[in-house]
Amino acid sequence: MEHESDDIMLTSKQYQLLSYIREQLDHTGVSPSFEEMKDALNLKSKSGIHRLITALEERGFIRRLPHRARALELLKYPSPDTYRESSNQAASSKFLPSVVEGSFPKHLNGVGKAHDAEAVILPLYGQIAAGTPIEALSDPSSTIDVPASMLGRGDHYALVVKGDSMSEAGIFDGDTAIIENIETPVNGAIVVALVDSQEVTLKRFRQKGNSVALEPANSLYETRIFGPERIQIQGRLVGLIRHY
């Protein structure tokens, strides 16, 4: 099996499943069952696993072996140039960034509108600290084209990452973070958090009782704890664009 040289876009769930299958084949020599895959990806039904397996098969990453139960063959794996997380990080992280090279044609009109279902224009709000928080940015200064496949049904915007406090989650200085505009994230999501209505930062969100933790993904930085009234969630991270 070789690394794939082409930049084939995978969703975070597709990449997470591919990493899990690879890990199980390496450790046991047997591909996991659909039930095990469902549990590993925290999905509610095996129908979602069927769709992910089909998508990975269509993209040439895996092959189902005929006449054999639980038989999957791993044909290729995304290049480290495209995905910078290790297999251990991929298996343990709640967020697996979809990273694509930032070079898309500037031919669309209207922010957030897709003309050909291949690219969407999003407002680009400048820099967000992935180290020390910076002042909240309220007005878009420019726009950026992103693949429509990176986006869900909600509203989205983009921010440029500054700093290295999320590097162990595969988020690096200079990356462009694609943010879904939500106010109520699940525990473990990587979010844009507005602190005390003054500063904004990109961190992993944890809430327990009356405490909110904003966790870095770098051992050189400390987790910050706040009361929930001090934190306003302005979105969750759904993808990254990286220039090489």
CA dihedral 197, 199, 96, 114 (to 10 degrees): 70
Distance of CA 125 to the CA centre of its chain: 19
What's the token pair of residue 30? 């047997």
As a whole number of angstroms, the distance between CA 50 and CA 17 comes to: 11
Establish whether 165 is a catalytic residue. Answer: yes
The DSSP line for 36-88 is HHHHHTT-SSHHHHHHHHHHHHHTTSEEEPTT-TT-EEE-EEE-TTT----HH
> Count of CB atoms within 10 A of residue 237's CB?
25
Strands 119-129 and 72-74: unpaired
When computed from its CA atoms, the radius of gyration of the chain, rounded to whole angstroms, is 19
Could you list the beta-strand ranges (E) of the chain. Answer: 2-4, 62-64, 72-74, 76-78, 99-101, 119-129, 134-135, 142-147, 156-162, 176-180, 190-195, 199-208, 211-215, 224-226, 231-242
CA-CA distances (angstroms) from residue 68 to 73, 74, 150, 240? 11, 15, 34, 38
Exactly one of 203, 208, 211, 219 is catalytic; which is it? 203
Exactly one of 31, 98, 165, 167 is catalytic; which is it? 165
As a whole number of angstroms, the distance between CA 148 and CA 17 comes to: 21
Catalytic machinery residues: 165, 203
